[in-house]
Amino acid sequence: MECEEKLARFRQAHLNPFNKQPGPRQHAQGAGEEAPDLAPEEVLPELPPVEPEFRCTERVMDLGLSEDHFSRPVQLRQAIEECKQVILELPEHSERQKDAVVRLIHLRLKLQELKDPNEDEPHIRVLLEHRFYKEKSKSVKQTCDKCNAIIWGLIQTWYTCTGCSYRCHSKCLNLISKPCVRSKVSHQAEYELNICPEAGLDSQGYRCAECRAPISLRGVPSEARQCDYTGQYYCSHCHWNDLAVIPARVVHNWDFEPRKVSRCSMRYLALMVSRPVLRLREVNPLLFNYVEELVEIRKLRQDILLMKPYFITCKEAMEARLLLQLQDRQHFVESDETYSIQDLLDAHTGRLGCSLTETHTLFAKHIKLDCERCQAKGFVCELCREGDVLFPFDSHTSVCSDCSAVFHRDCYYDNSTTCPKCARLTLRKQSLFQEPGPDLDA
């Protein structure tokens, strides 16, 4: 009996502090047993719960994604509120405030990941900004982007990200460490416009630029493969020798030959192919001097922008939705400066020039032949007062840069020093602001 009592007292005094307790002063014991009285010096003070502290570190992009103490939605919401308060307290446009904003974004993304998918999307799983959809196809043979093994659809379950087309086994789903490339496209929609900016393996520490695995040009322990887009080296798991058109080579050399890129670069370029982010006049204005297709396309785009005001004020054109002819290239009806890689690819093959010519003909037919309201908005050359009605997008016309009046090109160049409409507007302004004479004062 004495041994059992000593053993019970020993166990009571050495309880595991990590076990969940029923109360702050109760211990795991039977319902009929009483808790032993503790000496005053043995009573531990009850500490307040520790709140997550905000720290701006160098690796701000990782915050909110790998911290274990932000594992519950309640804690994440509390951290989000604290991060909002910190952003308001920090100086505006400071580096610390920018880091805090990035942290807030990732905390919200982490909270979104912990939420259950909607009821109408039972097969969607959110992970590292990926939205994985459970595939139903069984006969398609794919390769897992995580383990590089073949996905046998007949006997294995696999998922595909709806944003970047990342594929993996169901067993590899929780092992993914690469965030979705679509988030980078949303936050940083721009190209690397330096041709293969190589820095060398020593700048990477002889490790893969993505997974940080040891690599070497000799293939020991792993072969180093260069990405022609980023100029960095990757291991064979992150670089599958995929081919893609390099935007920098297109803009500077008009070179469309596909070159080897990493998996991450391939997904990024695939998502960016239709985004109009290239301003050719700023990056390489001399390109228009050597590529005739671009000169023709630029002229067609300028004409379409001149036709746009006619369609906006025309009821028939709005009902016919003529501007939707360019719904796949909406930036064509906004400006003539920006291009996408897909635009340049189609211009190189001749498809873009043909499609724009057809659209230009359809628009001009509506304005000049089919619609009386649009015809009434034409111009008559005030220099010769002869010929048909003129429109600003006609090839044989010139437009005054001050008043937008339209004239015959030959007439305008012969009388380039004077514009009748500008002179008329100047006289009207002078008559309005002319000082009253003495007769009017009397």
**DSSP letter, residue 37:** P
Q: What is the per-residue pLDDT for 246?
A: 95
Please, are residues 83 and 52 in contact by the beta-carbon 8 Å criterion? no
Domain spans of the chain? 73-114, 124-179, 189-273, 287-370, 378-429
Q: What is the per-residue pLDDT for 324?
A: 82
Strand partners, 390: 379
Q: Which residues contact 153 (CB under 8 A, 6 or more apart)?
A: 135, 137, 138, 139, 140, 141, 142
What does CATH list as the number for 189-273? 3.30.40.10
The whole-angstrom separation of Cα 21 and Cα 15 is 10
pLDDT along the chain (442 residues), means of 10: 61 46 43 42 43 40 40 75 90 86 81 52 69 74 80 78 82 80 75 91 91 87 91 91 94 94 91 91 91 92 90 86 84 90 94 92 90 86 79 83 80 74 83 62 46
Structure-block tokens of residue 129: 């900004």
Are 124-179 and 189-273 equal in CATH topology? Answer: no
Of 3.30.60.20, 3.40.710.10, 3.40.50.2300, 3.10.20.30, the CATH number of 124-179 is 3.30.60.20
Structure-block tokens of residue 94: 């400071």
Category of 80 on φ-ψ map: left (φ > 0), alpha (ψ -120 to 50) or beta: alpha
